[in-house]
């Protein structure tokens, strides 16, 4: 008989679960105070409390962008792909979020991704969009087995291509980067890249957004990060 009063007392004393709006407001105050990890925790909790709250998803994306800028990518899983996913979810729930995102400096780390270009209405499935996507996206190729090795491909304009290779130099015991500038032509989806002292390489941008360039390899806008 004593268990029932005790149970009632516990239920009455239990604090109510904060609403998604309350959690989001708490997160925003922490964000304003520069306490970004704590803010992220609150925004995530708000999104879990109300999965259809566009603002909570947006705030998660923006806060991850800040943490990424601070170099805390691995500490808080501030991956480009994750930021794009949360922002895309926010815009799906409330298309008005896109106008804010276009002006938000917190989201600068994802401007050169396919995901961001898709939000702007471009798609690799549309052949007419391929020239813009090539120039607006940063393309990465990771060398397996070497956490320092990375090849980056960019297209500054309608003619030039820049290839940067970063890797560990055994002689100097340092990570070094070598940059080369070449030219390219594009006909439909067919891309032809010519680099100094190398034979031309031909490839294509697939419907799914993979840049396949023969001997140069396959490039993606979302490289693996924080590998052990």
Q: Say how far apart CA 162 and CA 143 lie, in whole Å.
A: 18
Burial string for 176-201 (b: 16+ CB within 10 Å, else e) reads: eeeeeebebebeeeebebebeeeeeb
The pLDDT > 90 percentage for the chain reads 78
Strand, helix or coil for residue 190: strand
Q: Is a pLDDT exceeding 90 seen at residue 226?
A: no
| pTM for the predicted model, two decimal places | 0.86
Quick one: tokens of 63?
């806060």
Quick one: tokens of 55?
């603002």
In order of start, what are the domains of the chain with their CATH numbers? 16-110 (1.25.40.10), 127-219 (2.40.128)
pLDDT confidence bin for 6, thresholds 50/70/90: low
Q: Is a pLDDT exceeding 70 seen at residue 1?
A: no
Residue-wise pLDDT tens digits, 177-215 = 899 999 999 999 999 999 999 999 999 999 999 999 999
Q: What is the pLDDT of residue 145?
A: 54
Residue-wise pLDDT tens digits, 94-122 = 999 999 999 999 999 999 999 999 999 99
Place of tokens 């601070």: 70
Q: What is the pLDDT of residue 2?
A: 55
Q: Which helix (H) or strand (E) holds 192?
A: strand 190-194
- What is the average pLDDT across 127-136? 97
Place of tokens 């304009």: 157
Strand, helix or coil for residue 194: strand
pLDDT confidence bin for 146, thresholds 50/70/90: low
């Amino acid at each position: 008989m004593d268990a029932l009063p005790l149970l009632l007392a516990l239920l009455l004393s239990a604090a109510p679960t904060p609403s998604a709006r309350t959690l989001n407001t708490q997160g925003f105050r922490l964000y304003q105070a520069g306490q970004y990890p704590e803010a992220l925790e609150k925004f995530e909790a708000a999104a879990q409390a109300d999965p259809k709250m566009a603002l909570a998803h947006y705030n998660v994306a923006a806060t991850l962008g800040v943490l990424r800028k601070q170099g805390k990518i691995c500490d808080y899983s501030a991956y480009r792909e994750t930021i794009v996913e949360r922002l895309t979810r926010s815009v799906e729930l409330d298309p008005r979020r896109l106008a804010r995102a276009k002006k938000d400096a917190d989201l600068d780390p994802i401007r050169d991704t396919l995901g961001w270009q898709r939000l702007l209405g471009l798609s690799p499935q549309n052949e007419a969009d391929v020239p813009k996507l090539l120039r607006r996206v940063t393309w990465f190729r990771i060398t397996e087995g070497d956490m320092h090795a990375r090849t980056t491909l960019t297209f500054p304009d309608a003619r030039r291509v820049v290839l940067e290779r970063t890797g560990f130099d055994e002689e100097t015991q340092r990570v070094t980067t070598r940059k080369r500038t070449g030219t390219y032509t594009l006909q439909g989806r067919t891309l032809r890249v010519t680099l100094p002292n190398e034979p031309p390489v031909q490839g294509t941008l697939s419907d799914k957004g993979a840049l396949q360039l023969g001997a140069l390899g396959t490039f993606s806008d979302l490289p693996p990060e924080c590998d052990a």
